[in-house]
Structure 1
Amino acid sequence: MSSFLTIGLFFVFHRFWSVRNLDIVLLILLAPGLLMVHEGRRRHLREVEFGEIAIREKARQENDSGSELPPLSETSSQRKSSRRTLPRPEFDTTAMLVRTYPVQEQDAATVDTVESESPADQPGDKPADQPEDAAKQTESPPTETPTADSPAETTEALSIQEETNVPLVTTPDALDERLEATAEDPDPDATDAELSAKQLQRSGFILLFAVEFAILIRLLIDPLMVRRPLLDPNLTVGGLYFISISLFIFMMANVATSTPRMKVWQGPQLGPGYALMHRLPTITTRPVSTALAGEEPATEDELDLSSRSWTMLARILAITAHLAIVVGVVLIGNRHFGNVRAGVGCATLYLMLPYTAQMTGRVDHALPAALLLWAVLNYRRPLIAGIFLGLAAGLVYYPLFLLPLWCSFYWQRGVRRFAVGVLATLSILMILLTVGGTDSFVDHLRRMFGLFVPTMEPRGIWGLGWDPRWRLPVIVAFGILSSLFAAWPSPKNLGTLIGCSAAVMVAAQFWHGYGGGLYIAWFLPLLLLTIFRPNLQDRVALKVVDRGAAGPALASDSVSDLQAI
C-alpha cells in the first residue's frame, strides 16, 4: 500500500523516463530487502527461544535435588486464565509460537489427538526401505486422548501482532549474540528452520546492498545533472500536510507500543559510538510482570527508577529526532530551495516509506539523521553547522568521515568557525565521558572514535556467509572515497554538499560491521533532498557564508520560515 501511494503522489506520469521516476523506484526497492531481514530475524529469534526453552526444561528434569527452574509447561486452563502465550510443551524447535485453546463441545468428539509432529514426521512419509520398528521409534509420542478432566485442545500459530507482545525468554543482549553467530563459528545446534531464517536474512541484506549500491552510483553522478526541472508532487500542499501530520501521529505511537521483541527484530545494536547511545534502553511498554511462561520474575531494570528514567529519555529522543527530521526537511525546502511544496513532499515521502515505520523507535537511527539534516539547514552559519555535525560524529562515529567534504566546502570562507564548532562539541562530549560509568575513559574514547581493529566477528551480512576479511578492502575504498570528496567536485555548492554527504553515509553501510545496510535513516533525508532539490550552483560558501559570526539574521529567518509554513 505504501508503494502504491508513493507512486500515486510522486511518480511523474507525463515524463515516464525521467530520473525522478528512477529515484522513486529505488526508494520502493528498499522495502523488500528490509522486510526480508526483519522476517528472517523474527523467525530466527523464535527458533533460538524454543531451543533455550528446551535446554532449560531438560536441565530441570535432570536436576535430582529439586528444580530451581519452574516447569515451562502449564495446563490449558492455566494458560487460558493467565492469558499468557506459551510455546508447546513438546518444545519442538521447528514449530512456531502457538496459542492453545479448548475445542468447542460439539467438535470435541471428533478430536482424537493434537498433532505435535511436523508434516515430515508423518508415518506415511517415511522412506520405503526404513524398517517399520525404526519408523515407529522416530514418531513423536501421541498425546493423551481428551477426557472430562483434560478437554480437547487445538493449536494455532500466533499472528505477528500477537507475537510482538510475548516477553523474551532471556535478555535481548544474549539473544542478539545468538542471532549474530558468525560464519567462521557456526552454531552446531542450529536447526534447519534456523538456517533457513539466516538464509532469508542473507538474501534480504544482499538485496539491500544491491539497491544501496545503485543509490550510491546515482548520488555520485548527481553533480553532473545540471538540468533539474521542477517536478512537484501530485498533490497540493494542504493535502501533503494532512497526510504527513497524520502519519507522524500514528507512527509516534509505535514508540509507545514498542516491545523488547520488536527491538531484537529490528537489527543488531550499534557498534562504535558514544556511551549514551549504548546505554539507552529498549523502548518498551512491557509491564512489571513475570517473563515468558512465568519462569523469571521482573528484572531489576524494570523495577529500578533510574532505568525507567533512561527509558523515558529514549522515548523523548526518538520522538524529538523524527520531529526534527520532518521540520528540518520542510525548512530546507522553504529556506534553501524556495519551494515549500517540495519540502513538505520530502517530509511526506519520508514518513510514508516502510523503513520509517519499522525503525521508528531506534534512536541510533533517527538522532544522527536529524543532526546531519540540521547541519545542512544551518550551512550558512559554519559554527552552528559544525556543532550539529560534531554531535552526529560524536554519537555514532561514522559521520566523522564527512569532515573532508564539509571542510572543503568551507575552505574559502568559514572553515575555521566550522572546525571550532566540531572540535568544541567533540571536546564537550569527551569531558562528559568522565562523569559516571564503569568503563575507563580510554575505553570510552576508543569506542567513540572507533580506535580498534575491525572486528572479525561482525553482525549483519558479514556474519551471515560473507568472509569478514573482505571488509578490509571495502574499508580502504571507503576511506579513499571520503578523502576524494575533499577535492571533487569543485567548486562545491549546497547541492553537491547534500548529495555527497548522502553518498558518504550510503557507502558507510557496506563496511558497517554491526548491521550495515539497515541504517537507512543516516542517508534517507539527504537522499530525498537530493531528489527534490533545484539547481543550487550559486549556493557556494563565498556567496552565502558571512565573514563574521552568525548574526541576528537567524531569528528573522526562523520567523519567515514559520510564516511560509
Structure 2
Amino acid sequence: MSEFLFRYDQPSPITWAYLSGLLIVALFFKFNRIFSIRNLDLFLLLMLGPGLLSVRQGIENGSPSSELFGYWWLFGVNAVLLVRALWDSAMIRRPLLDPNMNASGLLFLAVSLFMFLMANIINGASEEDDLHSAQRAQLLSHRKASSVEQISLETHGPGFPLLFSLPAIPTSRVLGDRGSEPVEVPGADNAEVATDGEPPAEATSDDAATDEYAFTTGQVVTAKVAAILSQLMIVLGVVLIGARHFENFTMGCAAAMLYLFLPYTAMYTGNVTHLLPAALLVWAVYNYRLPMLSGVLLGLAFGTIYYPVFLLPVWISFYWRRGMWRFLIGIGIALSVLIITQIATSSDMAMFGSRMQQMFGIHWPQSKNLSGAWEYWNPVFRWPILATFLGMSLLTLPLWPQPKTLASLLSCSAAVMLGVQFWHAHSGGLALAWYLPLFLLMVFRPNLEDRTAVNVVR
C-alpha cells in the first residue's frame, strides 16, 4: 500500500481491532436506546475480536495456551450468536433503527475501506490454504494429482477445488508469460506430481525442472483475484439485498459497512475458502424470488465447500408451497455441471471416484489430522455436537417456524452455518464469513412477514 500512499504503514490486527471497534460504536450504537437488540448485536459481534486475536497471537508466537483460549472464547461467542439467530424468528416487532450516518457517508466509507482491504490482498502474502487450492485446481485441470491433493480430504475437509480456478482465464491474459515463473508455494510439494497414478519421471532437462513449478505465479494471482472478486460480490450483494428486498438502501450500506469494519474481515481478507461460499450464499438470498437460480447458486456453494448442503432442508421448507421443484432442478443443474467437470478432469475411474468423495465428503467424521480447535480437544466430543447439529438442521429448522419468510430464511440459514463452526474440524470455528453476511442482514432487516414464497415467487 505504500506504493500508492506515501509512507503508509498497514496497522497491526490489534490496532485495527481497537480502531474498528470505536468506529463501529460511533456509527451504529443507539445512544438514545441503550437497552436495544441492535446494541446487543453490536456487542456480540465486537466480542469476536478478542478470540480471533488470541488465536492469531497463539499461532504466531507458538503459544498453545493463548490459541486454546481464543478457541474457547470464539465458541462461547458463537454459541450466544446461535441463540440470537434462533431467537430472531420469534421477534415480531422490528423498529427502524437507522445508523448514525446517512447512506452517502456510509457508501463513501465502504468504498474507501474496500479499496484499502483489496490493496492489502494485492500487496500481501497469500494464505497457504489458498495456494493449495489454486495449485490443486491447476493440476486437476491437467488431469494430474499432487501429494497435497491426495490428502486434501483429511487435511482440508471436503470441497471442490476446481472452482478456485474460475479466474484463471483473465489471470493468464494479464500475466502472459509471467504465469509460468517459478514461485515457492508454502507447504506444497510441487516436485511430487503424479499422472494417472504413476510416479513422476525424473527431470532430464532445465525445461522439465521448470515444468514442476509451472503456473505457480498464476496460482498466487488466481488466489488473490478470487479473493477480491469474492469480497466484491459479498459487499455488493449485501447492499443490493438492502436496496431491493429491504427497500432501504441505507440498511444495505450499513450491513456492508459493518462487515468491512469487523476485525475478522481485515484478518482473513484474502481467504478464498471462507469468501467464495459466502459470496454464493449472499447471491442465493438476493435471487430468492427465482427458485431455480437460487438453487444453482446454492448448489455451487455446496460444491465449493460442502457444508452448505445442510441448508437444503431449510430452503426446501421455504419453497415448499411454491417453487420447490424449480429450486431442486437448480440444485441438480449445478451438481450435474460439477460432476461433468469432475469427469472431464479425471484421468481414470479411480481418480473420478476420489474427486467425488472429496466433493461430497463421503467419509465418517475424522478423528485424526484435525486442525483448529479440535487439534486440542478430544474428537470424541464432536459426535454429540454433530448429532445435535443434524437434529437442528434436518428436523427442527425445516419445521419451525412455519410458514417460512425471507426473515426466517435469513435467520435459519445463519443459524445453520453458525452450527457448522462447532464441529468443523479444519478451521476450528474460524470460518466466520460463512455466516457473517447472513447474520448482518438478519440484524439490519425490517419486518418481512409478507415475504413468503407464495407471495413473491411467480
Normalising by structure 1, we get a TM-score of: 0.64
1:32 to 50, 61, 65: 50
Separation in 1, partners of 2:384, 2:184: 48
CA distance in 2, matches of 1:291, 1:273: 21
Cα offset, 1:325, TM superposition:
0.7
**Distance of 2:209 and 2:79 partners within structure 1:** 44
Three-state SS of the structure 1 residue aligned to 2:122 is helix
Q: How big is the shift at 1:280?
A: 9.9
Structure 1: how far apart are the matches of 2:49 and 2:235?
20
Give me the whole-angstrom Cα distance separating, in 1, the residues matched to 2:52 and 2:270. Answer: 16
- What residue in structure 2 maps to residue 15 of structure 1? 33
Indicate which of 469, 475, 482 corresponds to 2:386: 475
State the shift of 1:261 in Å: 7.0
Cα separation, 1, equivalents of 2:334 and 2:184: 43
- In structure 2, how many angstroms separate the alpha carbons of the residues matched to 1:262 and 1:273? 16
Equivalents in 1 of 2:117, 2:379: separation in Å? 36
Is residue 272 from structure 1 mapped to residue 158 from structure 2 by the alignment?
yes
Note if 1:455 corresponds to 2:392: no
Deviation string, structure 1 residues 163-200 (Cα, Å, up to 9, x no partner): xxxxxxxxxxxxxxxxxxxxxxxxxxxxxxxxxx1111
Matches of 2:346 and 2:30, distance apart in 1: 53
Query: Distance in 1 between the 2:73 and 2:27 partners?
Result: 25
Task: Report if aligned partners of 2:164, 2:226 keep a CA contact under 8 Å in 1.
Answer: no
Q: Could you say which residue in structure 2 is the equivalent of 1:206?
A: 72
Deviations 1:74-105 (A, max 9, x none): xxxxxxxxxxxxxxxxxxxxxxxxxxxxxxxx
* Correspondence for 2:278 among 362, 369, 377: 369
Give the structure 1 partner of residue 426 of structure 2.
514
What's the offset of the Cα at 1:383? Answer: 0.5
Q: Which has the higher helix share?
A: 2
Q: Contact 1:277–1:364 (CA<8 Å) still a contact in 2?
A: no
In the other structure, the counterpart of 1:424 is: 333
| AA of the residue aligned to 1:23 | D
Q: How does 1:517-556 map to 2 (within 5 A)?
A: 517-546=429-458
Q: Which runs of 5+ in 2 are unaligned?
A: 1-18, 131-151, 172-177, 192-207
Rate the CA distance shift 1:277–1:300 in 2: closer, same or farther, 3 A. Answer: farther
In structure 1, distance between residues paired with 2:280 and 2:450: 25
Letter in 1 for 2:392: L
For the residue of structure 1 that corresponds to 2:300, the secondary structure is helix
Q: Residues of 2 paired with 1:14 and 1:404: CA distance?
A: 40
- Identify the range of structure 1 (253-262 vs 31-40) with the bigger mean alpha-carbon deviation: 253-262
Q: Which residue of 1 aligns with 2:216?
A: 307
Matched residue type, 1:455: Q
In 2, Cα distance between equivalents of 1:279 and 1:355: 25
Matched, 1:407 2:344: no
Which has the greater radius of gyration? 1
Give the alignment's Cα RMSD to 1 decimal: 2.9
Q: 1:407 is matched by which residue type in structure 2?
A: I
SS of the residue 2:289 aligns to: coil
CA contact (8 A) 2:346 2:352 kept: no
Taking the aligned partners of 2:439 and 2:267, their CA distance within structure 1 comes to: 19
Residues 230-267 of structure 1: per-residue CA shift (max 9 Å, x gap) = 00110011111111001100101122123257869xxx
Are the equivalent residues in 1 in contact too, given 2:291–2:324 (CA < 8 A)? yes
The alignment partner of 1:491 has SS state of coil
The equivalent residue for 1:397 is 306
> How far has the Cα of 1:279 moved from its partner?
7.9
1:238 lines up with 2:104 in the alignment: yes
517-526 or 428-437, larger mean C-alpha shift? 428-437
Q: Secondary structure at the match of 2:101?
A: coil
Q: What's the CA shift for 1:473?
A: 1.1
Deviations 1:194-242 (A, max 9, x none): xxx1111111011000000000000001011100000011001111111
Query: In structure 2, what is the equivalent of residue 228 of structure 1?
Result: 94
Counterpart amino acid of residue 376 in structure 1? V
The answer to whether the aligner puts 1:255 opposite 2:164 as a matched pair is: no
Partner in structure 1 of residue 136 of structure 2:
none
Q: 2:229, 2:261 → 1: CA distance?
A: 18
Aligned counterparts of 2:253 and 2:165: Cα–Cα separation in 1: 34
Cα 1:37–1:275 shift into 2, 3 Å: same
CA distance in 1 between partners of 2:246 and 2:117 (Å) = 27
2:255 touches 2:440 (CA, 8 Å); kept in 1? yes
Give, in angstroms, the shift of residue 437 of structure 1: 5.3
Write the mapping of 1:137-148 to structure 2, written as runs, cut at 5 A. Answer: none
Question: C-alpha displacement at 1:311, in angstroms?
Answer: 2.5
- Residue 317 (1) aligns with residue 226 (2): yes
The equivalent of 1:50 in structure 2 is: none
Letter in 1 for 2:82: L
AA partner of residue 74 (structure 2): L
The letter for the 2-side match of 1:508 is V
- 1:314 maps to a residue whose letter is A
Distance 1:424 1:261 in 2: 32
Return the alpha-carbon distance in structure 1 between the equivalents of residues 322 and 440 of structure 2. 27
Give the Cα–Cα distance (whole angstroms) in 2 for the partners of residues 479 and 469 of structure 1: 16
Q: Distance in 1 between matches of 2:39 and 2:185?
A: 49
Q: 1:225 to 1:300 in 2, by over 3 A?
A: farther
Residue of structure 1 in register with 2:201 after alignment: none
Distance 1:346 1:28 in 2: 14
Deviations 1:420-457 (A, max 9, x none): 00111011111111233577111111111111011112
Letter of the aligned partner of 1:362 in structure 2? N
Q: How far apart are the structure 2 equivalents of 1:225 and 1:389?
A: 27
1:486 aligns with 2:398: yes
Which of 424, 429, 442 is equivalent to 2:353?
Answer: 442
- Residues 117-132 of structure 1 mapped to structure 2, 5 A cutoff: none
- Counterpart of 1:274, as a letter, is F
Q: Look up the match of 1:154.
A: none
- 2 CA distance for matches of 1:263 and 1:353? 22
Question: 1:471–1:511: 8 Å Cα contact kept in structure 2?
Answer: yes
Would you say the 8 A contact 1:280–1:314 is kept in 2? no
Q: How far apart are residue 302 of structure 1 and its match?
A: 9.9
Deviations 1:98-129 (A, max 9, x none): xxxxxxxxxxxxxxxxxxxxxxxxxxxxxxxx
SS at structure 1 position matched to 2:96: coil
In the alignment, residue 125 of structure 2 is paired with which amino acid? T
